[in-house]
């Protein structure tokens, strides 16, 4: 980390990731468009960080939260009860 680079305090990062996860969980219901949103935000944050953009510090935890919310949704779908085929 370079001396002029500022990081978000952990006290801020954790709630941002949790809120991002809740939003990601809600958006995951939309299907592929909701699933790709978190990945896009995370990739843009990583690219922004490599170019030195100031907004990248916020985009990375938001993207991580969105991706975690989507993963929780997919895990619930995979482990949920199988649909019944009764007539």
Q: Write down the pTM of the prediction.
A: 0.77
Q: How far out from the chain centre does Cα 39 lie?
A: 7
Residue 41's pLDDT band, with cuts at 50, 70 and 90, is: very high
Confidence of residue 43 (pLDDT cuts 50, 70, 90): very high
Domain containing 40 equals: 13-74
Average pLDDT score over residue span 69-82: 88
> Is residue 82, in this structure, part of any structural domain at all?
no
Domain assignment of residue 27, yes or no: yes
Q: Which residues contact residue 25 at a Cβ distance below 8 angstroms, ignoring those fewer than 6 apart?
A: 69, 70, 72, 73
Q: Residue 24: inside a domain, yes or no?
A: yes
- Number of domains comprising the chain: 1
CB of 30 closer than 8 Å to CB of 80: no
Residue 87 is assigned to a structural domain of this protein: no
Judge whether 62 lies within some domain.
yes
Residue 44 located in a structural domain: yes
Residue 84 lies in a domain: no
């Amino acid at each position: 980390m370079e001396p002029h680079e500022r990081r978000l305090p952990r006290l801020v990062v954790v709630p941002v990731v949790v809120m991002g996860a809740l939003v990601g969980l809600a958006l995951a219901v939309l299907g592929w468009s909701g699933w790709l949103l978190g990945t896009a935000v995370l990739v843009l944050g990583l690219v922004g960080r490599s170019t030195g953009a100031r907004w990248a510090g916020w985009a990375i935890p938001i993207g991580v939260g969105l991706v975690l919310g989507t993963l929780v949704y997919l895990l619930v779908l995979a482990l949920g009860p199988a649909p019944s085929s009764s007539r």
